[in-house]
A = this chain, B = another copy of it.
Amino acid sequence: MNMKSKEEAFIDFIAEKYALKGSRDGIFGIGDDCAVIPGPGKEQYVITCDMLCEDTHFAKAMISPFELGWKSAAVNISDIAGMAGKPLYAFVSLGMPYPDTEYCDGFYRGLCSCLDKNDTLICGGDTVKSEKIVINLTVVGKAGRPVYRSGARPGDAVMLCGTPGASAAGLEALLAMGRERAEAAYPLLVRRHLMPEPVMCSFLLKDLAGAMMDVSDGISKDLAALCLASGAGACIKEDSIPVCDALKEYCSAEGKDPVALAVSGGEDYGLLFTCRPENSGICAGLMKENGVLCTKIGEITRKEEVYMLDKTGCRRPLPAGWQHFGDARS
């Protein structure tokens, strides 16, 4: 169940040896979507940091500068949302063959569209020359009560915000057909991959959620991480996984299994959280009021394993984790 990729094992090695893993003196380091440090008054700052490299995380031909800017912001804001935080400040480093004012302007327009929509201010950064495009964002948010991965308890409802799998289908289409044809055939899926929308209302759940994280690597992998951190397991139900119409159409045309894509596909930047079962309706209602579909997809179990019950009631192991653009290529 806890199969780690080479990359994850390597990051673990670095984190164990050199970084603060877990918490000390009110500081939380590596192991969740964000680090947590003391903030003003009763608040805490949640901080996340992501690096995106050309040809590892994206191909220049597949994503416009505007979309790349948007996605860079969305990915980091989603990590803030994954701790029930609200983003405040962004620090943007951009390396590129220098200076391409037009590209850079497009990138910043996309970045700021997403940041502005989420009330986030660029407060610093760096612009440097590099052979390939590289982006690093550090986003600082605030959280009245950060929600960690480790707070899931047996009996909790497993809740999902968003409709998973659409981004993965979008990437599949882009890789198979190229940008133009993919966009003509599956515009919604391509958009979901290139310009994901983070779940910004997650802070409303701060007193109701036990555990929380954003879904960047797919339900399968991320739910396993949440369970591992909580020392628990989970059972999800196949027929409760929400599948959007665009994904259904794609799977029907391409002969794919929508549930498999929905469970294993990453980069949707939805949200997984747990809550006491009696609160699942309140939580779903709060999200719905903010335009976010929120579905109960299963429950937390005592035994440390994660599985799915299919439509016939049979246990099925969860499919292997999501491979991002670069992994899929190499």
The residue that A47 contacts in the complex, of B20, B98, B140, with Cβ under 8 A, is B140
Give the contacts of A115-162 with B (CB-CB under 8 A).
121-132, 134, 136, 138, 140
When the two chains form their complex, are residues A123 and B39 in contact, meaning their CB atoms are under 8 A apart? no
- Of B10, B17, B47, the residue contacting A124 (CB under 8 A) is B47
- Contact across chains for A104 and B14 when beta carbons are under 8 A apart: yes
Point out which of A19, A105, A125, A326 has the most chain B C-beta atoms below 10 A from its C-beta. Answer: A125
A186 interface contact, C-beta 8 A? no
What residues on B are CB-neighbors of A17 within 8 Å? 105, 108
CA distance A18 to B17 in the complex (A): 38
Chain B contacts for A18, CB-based, 8 A? 108, 111-112, 122
Give Cα distance in the complex from A158 to B68, angstroms.
Answer: 44
CB neighbours of A136 from chain B (8 A): 49, 51, 93, 126, 136
Instruction: List the interface of chain A (C-beta within 8 A of B).
Output: 6-7, 10-11, 13-14, 17-20, 27-30, 34-35, 37-40, 45, 47-53, 55-57, 88-89, 91-95, 98-99, 101, 104-105, 108, 111-112, 121-132, 134, 136, 138, 140, 326
Please list 12 pairs of residues, one from A and one from B, whose beta carbons are closer than 8 Å in the complex, sorted by A's number.
Answer: A7-B98, A17-B105, A20-B121, A20-B123, A27-B121, A29-B124, A37-B89, A49-B126, A49-B138, A55-B131, A56-B130, A130-B134
